[in-house]
Amino acid sequence: MMIKTKWDFSIFKRKNFKTQRKIILRKIENFYNQWSKRDLKKPKNLFKFLKDCERFIYKTPTIFAEEYTYYFLKTLLDTKNKKYKIKLNEIEKLKEKAYKKIFSLLGFLKNCKEKNKILNSPQIKNYKNFLETFLVEPLQPFKNGKFATLRSKIDEEIKKTNWKIYEDKNLQDRILKKYSGLMEKALNEILKVYLEKERKEGLSFTYYDKFLAKGFDPKIIKIIKEVFLENKENLKKELKKYELSKEEKDVLFSLKIPLKKGIYLAIEIFNKIDKSLGKFVLESFQKGLVDVYPRKNKYLLPRVVSGSPLLPTFILLNYKNTLKDFLSLIHEFSHAFHNEFLKKYNSPFNSNQSSIVKETVAAIFILFALEVLKEKHNNLIEKYMHSDFIKTTLNDLVIFSIQEEIYKIYKTRGEINIKEINKIYKKNILIFFGKTKAREISNYRWILNFYRGLAFWHFPYFIGGILSRIFIKEYYKNKKEFKKKLFKFLRAGANKTFEEILKKIGYDVYKKDFWGRCLT
């Protein structure tokens, strides 16, 4: 098996980005001039514009997608390289300006009296969700200046400790206390922005994702919280029963999975669902679409990069031959599969999904991989699966509860301080985990969950973790039905909301017993 362990940039080598820029800028001007003369309030014209716009944006050479992807990949491999950063900033500004110009032609929808009539027109049925989402301007707290500073500082600290910060209470307290003042300022700044946004637009504070802002019903979270609160005592007992000791964790996570073994194992796991998935894994390594090993100045976290429907999906790993790294490989390939399915089965404007759907897909594949590993290794994998599910789910509920309480205090008083948040955190740990855990937990641990903005990404991981268990039950009950439902989930684009996708595969998210199934 011939594999490449570094990204192959030959796909970009023949490109003259300077010439390409001139061509694209001229085409943007022509496109804008052509469509600015048409009445887009007429659904027939609006439909034609959207179709034409898709072809224009995603057709070769695309709107700076190749140049942007090239420099973005380069900055991930060398985060300290100023030359790549300058180029990336340059192309980001060009992209932003181009999209602003093109989509300014849809600006009339924001204040149009006939907006609802236009959006409900049969001609643009398949673009309704895209247009509604386009009209929502989501908050992106992780782009706030102080959060950005905090993020880079804590990322560096995590790197220095070689991830030990997540396990060592004293280390956590020492490092996180140092940044607690900056966290306090960052939180108060972003909460002010949220409050203003809520008063003006009535958007929910809980979700930053624009797909969720328009397409997720907060009633569902209320139902889920009720289910888990009703079962919290049983969950605490289960957690105690399955909690791994330090020695067991060491044995489990010292399990060595070298890259070649990891690739073969991943192929075997994915082939159990469908041969096309295993083939995708192998071809990604053969084509040089995976950058495998960690090195100096390489981006810290694994991720998937897809700049355009016409470009392949690139995968970044930091593989060190451990079980955790192998599960990370499975996680990132899950996103890569999902990305390919979305591109194949949806028009470009709908070839996206909310983070909640993406993380649900990843959680399903991870749990499936663990189920297969369980057959190959001893009962530690099974013990880890039970323990990790209960622990992460309860932890996410703690984070949601803190977030809600923080916002409640801020709305009443217009500020909140670190001591208050520490107190709220300890109180919620006590409620969901009990006294012993509350004594063990670092005072500042919650900063690790909040330092990238607020605790928003916990929400998709939380829902994904629960749903993955329901999907895996399908696998043991009926393998064909499991694959059918999973593939429907993978194919669903942005023209369907989360609730609609689940409803289509027969899941009623408004029933308590549906969410309760993951606990049985």
Number of domains in the chain: 3
The confidence band for 50, taking pLDDT boundaries of 50, 70 and 90, is very high
At which of 79, 109, 135 does a domain end? 135
Distance CA 49, CA 137 (A): 22
Q: Tell me, yes or no, whether 14 and 129 share the same domain.
A: yes
**Mean of pLDDT over the chain:** 89
Q: What would the pLDDT profile of 206-251 be if each residue is shown by its tens digit?
A: 555 555 555 567 788 788 888 988 998 898 888 888 988 888 888 8
Q: How sure is the predictor about 11, in pLDDT bands with cuts at 50, 70 and 90?
A: confident
- Domain check: are 40 and 151 in the same one? no
Half-sphere exposure of 137 (CA within 13 A, CB side): 8
- Same domain assignment for residues 349 and 441: no
Identify the pLDDT of residue 215. Answer: 57
- 84-123 as b/e, with b when 16 or more CB fall inside 10 Å? beebbeebeebbeebeeebeebbeebeeeeebeebbebee
Each residue's pLDDT tens digit, 77-124: 999 999 999 999 999 999 999 999 999 999 999 888 888 899 999 999
Q: Which of 86, 106, 135 is the last residue of a domain?
A: 135
Residue range 281-299, pLDDT digits in tens: 999 999 999 999 999 999 9
Question: What CATH number does residue 15 fall under?
Answer: 1.20.140
- Supply 89's token pair: 């900033």
Q: Look at residues 101, 135, 169 and tell me which one is the last residue of a structural domain.
A: 135
Task: Specify the DSSP class assigned to residue 243.
Answer: P
pLDDT, residue 205, reads 56
Pair 14, 121 in one domain: yes
Per-residue pLDDT tens over the stretch 373-424: 988 777 789 889 989 899 888 888 888 888 889 988 999 999 999 999 999 9
Burial 285-311 (b: 16+ CB within 10 A, else e): beebbbbbeeeeeebeebebbbbbbeb
Amino acid at position 28, single letter = I
Q: What distance in Å separates the CA atoms of residue 282 and residue 288, rounded to the nearest whole number?
A: 10
* Inter-CA distances, 144 with 191, 193, 399, Å: 11, 10, 20
The answer on 390 and 495 residing in a single domain is yes
Kindly state whether residues 198 and 289 are assigned to the same domain. Answer: no
Each residue's pLDDT tens digit, 163-198: 788 888 899 999 999 999 999 999 898 888 888 877
Same domain, 16 and 43: yes
Can you give the residue range of the structural domain that contains 205?
Answer: 142-245+381-519
Grouping H, G, I as helix, E, B as strand and the rest as coil, residue 218 is helix
Contact 277, 266 (CB under 8 A): no
**Percent of the chain with pLDDT strictly greater than 90:** 50
